[in-house]
Every structure is written in structure tokens, then in C-alpha cells.
Amino acid sequence: MAADIGSGDETSLSDDVSFLCVGLTVVDMITVVGKYPEEDSDQRGISFRKQRGGNASNASTVLTSLGNTCQYLGVLPSTSDPDYRWLKDDFNGHGIKTDLCVNSDRTCPMANVVVSRDTGSRTIIFCDNGQPELSLQQFMSNAGKSLHCFTWIHFELRPNVEDYLHMLETVEEYRTKTAQRTGKEPHTVTPYVSVEIEKPELSNPERAMMLADVIFISKDWARCKGWEDMTTAVSSASRWCRPHCTVICPWAEEGAAAWCNNEVVTSTASPPGEVIDTLGAGDTFVAGFLHTIARHKTVSESLNFACKLAAAKCTIDGFKGLQGLVKIEVR
């Protein structure tokens, strides 16, 4: 897959790339403070805002801001919940389609986020409010017959790993049948598939790696496996992956690494300038990489773009205006 997507051939995919992002949406309540508060203290905040969050939800926002067509698939609250209309309006305002989403009778997961203007750090307290995860049955009912509509499907691996494995298997079966019908190799058939493995507490997420073309592993997950640097992480994780895949690991200020075609590719981090807000920088990295690799840029070019885009995001509150901050000619 890496050789095919990252070949530099820009004729086999048009600039109009259609993504489906599957995963979580959260209501983020963000308080910006000058300095992170001490426990049991009073402090005045600089600003407060309500923002749509969640890894897959944020990736959708960045992908559309870069000019892609994008749909989000996840669980939204009941249509009678006040946050339902707010979330729908926010998705619509960013040009993200939510026709495939399902509704729950529970309120949306919430996160209280404290952003320190002094350091740019973000401290997150998350509460799922009992909202269920997207199930295999819901994925099949809502997206099972629409797989041909997408160039790329990105999965944020959630705690119900078994359901997500079956979702990945469903896409794999579709691609295999398409390959048999068209005489192509399965790894060259769309929709391409990426998986993000972030949380250390996920149960045996390695099983998902064999079912994806691009795998993103987080620094936290890599460290829980005993890997203390990004090059060790991607080379070690590659043993669970199929031959044509690419493994990506961003490592904050050290940049990012990828395993592709049996070798490690790295990119240095870009100096972000004044750090304002790091919330969502990782999701911006993921979306930036997908945006470029889906257009048949090389892995090296895509890593470079993703690092620069993530650094630019750290200089603004939220994502508004992100598309105008990075003008990179990928050579």
C-alpha cells in the first residue's frame, strides 16, 4: 500500500478525495488560563469556549478545511438533546456530512479542558456520560452499502475493539470482492483504510493492524509497549502489519517516524512559533498525513506536511483559519 499510495503519481486519484471518519464526538468545554492552577485554588480564566471535539470528529474538521469531502460516522445524542442541534450545526458549518450518524438516548460525552497559555499544555477530564460506542450493526446498517462512495475510511479505534475489527473486516471483504471483479490487487482497491491506535488501555489493538493500509500509533501507546523512541516504535509495530502498509508514530517535539517498504522514514518537528493551544494537534497531524498521502504524495512528503500543519495548529485557538496558515508546496 505504501508504494501505491505514496508513489508520486497524481493521475490515479483526483483532487476530490472523499473521506469517512469513524469514531468519537465530544463536547469540549475549554477554559484558557494564564498558568495551570494549583489544587484547591481560585484563578481567573482568560477565555472560555465550547468546541466540538473527539479524534475522528476533529480529523473530519481538518480534512474539510483542507478541501476534502468528508463524512463523519459516530454516535450523537438524542435529537431532543440541546447539544444535538449545536453539534449538527457545527458539523454543517464545517461542511462535514453526518447523514450516517446514529443517535443515543444519552447525552454527548463531555470533556473539561484546561489550556495553559503559559506552556500551551492541555489537561483533559473526560466523562462519557454512559453514551454507547458505535456498534458493528450500526456501522453495517448505515455505511455498509455506501463503501463504494469513499476514497478513504479512517477508523479511530474505540474500546469496543471487537466491533471495530469486524468493521475493518467488512471493508476488507468489500475490497477483496472488488479486486476479484476488476482483476486488481486488493491493496490497490479503494476505499483505503487507516486506523488510529491511541489509548494504552485498548484490548489487543494489534489485531487491527493487519486490516489497515496506514496505522497511526500514539506516543503513549508506544511507550506502554516498551518502545522509548519513534523509530523503534514504528519498526517494532510493523511486525503486526501486512507488507503494503505504512506505520506512523508522531512524537511531539521530536517529529514523526514512519515504517514503509521495510525502512524507517522520519520528519523533524516544525517550530510552532508562539504556542497558544495544543488541543487537537494530534488529530491535525493525522488529517494532514491522510490529506497528502491520499493524493499519492510520498510518505516523506506527507510526514513533513503533517508535522508543519500540526505545528501551525498549535499557534491558534481551535481550528478556524488553519487552512490559511500552512502553504506548503510538496515537491
Q: Give 17-47 pLDDT, tens digit per residue.
A: 899 999 999 999 999 999 999 999 998 999 9
Sign of CA dihedral 217, 10, 272, 319: negative
Residue-level pLDDT at 11: 31
Q: What is the dihedral of CA 76, 77, 82, 83, to 10 degrees?
A: -40
Confidence of residue 10 (pLDDT cuts 50, 70, 90): very low
Residue-level pLDDT at 44: 93
Cα–Cα distance for residue pair 219/234, rounded to 1 Å: 11
Q: Give 88-142 pLDDT, tens digit per residue.
A: 999 999 999 999 999 999 999 999 999 998 887 889 999 999 999 999 999 999 9
For the segment 305-309, the average pLDDT, to the nearest whole number, is 94
Confidence of residue 198 (pLDDT cuts 50, 70, 90): very high
| Residue 84 and residue 78 in contact, taking contact as beta carbons nearer than 8 Å | yes
Confidence of residue 149 (pLDDT cuts 50, 70, 90): very high
Confidence of residue 274 (pLDDT cuts 50, 70, 90): confident
Residue-level pLDDT at 277: 86
HEC profile of 229-294: CHHHHHHHHHHHCCCCCEEEEECHHHCEEEEECCEEEEECCCCCCCCCCCCCHHHHHHHHHHHHHC
Q: Which of the two residues, 273 and 254, has the higher pLDDT score?
A: 254
DSSP state of 305: H
Residue 157 clears pLDDT 70, i.e. is over it: yes
Cα–Cα distance for residue pair 264/259, rounded to 1 Å: 5
| Residue 306 and residue 298 in contact, taking contact as beta carbons nearer than 8 Å | no
Residue-level pLDDT at 2: 47
Residue-level pLDDT at 124: 95
Residue 12 clears pLDDT 80, i.e. is over it: no
pTM more than 0.95: no
Residue 50 clears pLDDT 90, i.e. is over it: yes
Q: Which residues pair with 249 in a beta bridge?
A: 257
For the segment 190-205, the average pLDDT, to the nearest whole number, is 96
Residue 9 clears pLDDT 80, i.e. is over it: no
Mean pLDDT of the chain: 92
The helix (H) or strand (E) run that includes residue 164 is helix 161-182
Cα–Cα distance for residue pair 46/116, rounded to 1 Å: 10
Per-residue burial over 209-219, b if 16 or more Cβ lie within 10 Å, else e, is bebbbbbbbbb
Q: Nearest CA to 35 among 27, 26, 44?
A: 44
Burial category of 97 from C-beta neighbours within 10 Å (exposed 0-12, middle 13-18, buried 19 and up): middle
